[in-house]
Amino acid sequence: MREQQILVTRTSMPAMEEYMKEIAPLWDSHWLTNMGVKHGEFKSMLAEYLKLSSPENLDLLVNGHMSLELTLQAMDLQGEVITTPFTFASTTHAIVRNGLEPVFCDIDPVTFTMDCSRLEGLITDRTCAILPVHVFGNICNISEIGRIARKYELKVVYDAAHAFGEEANGTGVGNFGDASIFSFHATKVFNTIEGGASCFQDPEMGARLYDLKNFGIHGPDEVSAVGANAKMNEFCAAMGICNLRHIDEEIEKRKAVDERYRLRLEGINGLQLKCIQAEVKQNYAYFPVLFDEGEFGASRAEVFAALERRHVFARKYFHPLTNRFSAFHGKYKDDETPVARHVSQRILCLPIYADLDLETVDEICDVVVNLSA
């Protein structure tokens, strides 16, 4: 029995010496936050990597959730926001914490992203925005969402927390919609320890977002708006600078893990692996598997328990659906999103990270294969 735990992900970090060299100037400047030198350097590097037209189309924030919550607030929205329940808590909570009403659209059974065929039927005279989620690196149907949004004059904010560094037909994913939100949490493909970013098209919205993240302060004697404190500090920005140097190498290592899983698990009855979108440059953020107990021969719970006995900890992403949270008890119905409910009850994300060796991947696959009918 292995002693080391294998978690669903593991944080990528630069060499200690590289990070120490990056943060050493902070001991000279004593400028640790409030948009210092590292913040500016990272912002420029990140905008270039994401293929944005300018660093002015990007702002850095303390985490991905506040990036989303404050971006919605900066848009001054009222009414209903159409989203999906197959996502992390942050997506729905950001809507609710802005005094907006989430309206849940079901998901596509292949990509697990918003089912655009159901989208127009959910639009009412109270709808103000659409908040689709790129899931496990699968990109939403951007063209159809854009068409519908233009038709009904709705804002579009993409939750792109799973899609860092991805491109659709050569366009960086941060360029879509009115805004796209990234999370740089330690568990993500790319991290700044904690952190996030909002990419946006309208410079005026960027100015409002800046006010919201920095108390509306515009100088020692000028506070022109009411805001909060959601700035990224210099240590997180420095980690971002270091990790950005190595991100392509990290993604290539993840690709090797993904390919090994596919080599071992593709074609097994009752298993649905993450789809591959031909037009998308992948980041290999997650490796989700859908278990059909009737065909596979074992339930998700049985697979989860068998892996846990080997100290391998997969995750039931996303379960429960956000419209099933006890925080919203009795308010929403998951029978209105039956595909999302079906997927949520059967999905399991297997471990994937850059340093996961292929021998361990084989051990994980052996456990899964041995449970098949």
Q: Report the distance separating Cα 286 and Cα 295, nearest Å.
A: 24
Residue 25, classed as helix, strand or coil, is helix
Whether the ω angle into residue 320 lies within 30 degrees of 0, i.e. cis, is yes
Q: What are phi and psi of 246, to 5 degrees?
A: -115, 5
Residue 340, classed as helix, strand or coil, is helix
Q: Report the distance separating Cα 59 and Cα 263, nearest Å.
A: 40
Residue partners of 30: CB distance under 8 A and separation at least 6:
none
Contact in structure between 180 and 155 (CB atoms under 8 Å) = no
Contact in structure between 229 and 213 (CB atoms under 8 Å) = yes
Inter-helix orientation angle 358-371/300-309, to 10°: 130
Q: Report the distance separating Cα 337 and Cα 322, nearest Å.
A: 11
Residue 136 burial (10 A CB sphere; 0-12, 13-18, 19+)? buried
Q: What are phi and psi of 44, to 5 degrees?
A: -65, -45
pLDDT per residue of the chain (373 residues) written in tens, 0 to 9: 567 899 999 999 999 999 999 999 999 999 999 999 999 999 999 999 999 999 999 999 999 999 999 999 999 999 999 999 999 999 999 999 999 999 999 999 999 999 999 999 999 999 999 999 999 999 999 999 999 999 999 999 999 999 999 999 999 999 999 999 999 999 999 999 999 999 999 999 999 999 999 999 999 999 999 999 999 999 999 999 999 999 999 999 999 999 999 999 999 999 999 999 999 999 999 999 999 999 999 999 999 999 999 999 999 999 999 999 999 999 998 899 999 999 999 999 999 999 999 999 999 999 999 999 7
Q: Report the distance separating Cα 219 and Cα 207, nearest Å.
A: 14
Q: What are phi and psi of 112, to 5 degrees?
A: 70, 10
Residue partners of 313: CB distance under 8 A and separation at least 6:
5, 6, 7, 8, 307, 351
pLDDT at 194: 98
pLDDT at 333: 87
Q: Report the distance separating Cα 271 and Cα 109, nearest Å.
A: 13
DSSP string, 265-333: HTT-TTEEEPP--TTEE-----EEEEE-HHHHSS-HHHHHHHHHHTTB--B-TT-S-GGG-GGGTTT--
Residue at token pair 């080599």: 263
DSSP string, 76-111: T--SEEEE-SSS-HHHHHHHHTTT-EEEEPPB-TTT
pTM confidence score: 0.97
> Domains of the chain, with CATH numbers?
16-242 (3.40.640.10), 247-371 (3.90.1150.10)
pLDDT at 72: 98
Residue partners of 170: CB distance under 8 A and separation at least 6:
none
Residue partners of 261: CB distance under 8 A and separation at least 6:
273, 287, 350, 352, 361, 365
Cα–Cα nearest to 318, from 295, 297, 299, 339: 339
Cα–Cα nearest to 68, from 122, 135, 132, 141: 132
pLDDT at 33: 98
| DSSP secondary structure code for residue 138 in this structure | B
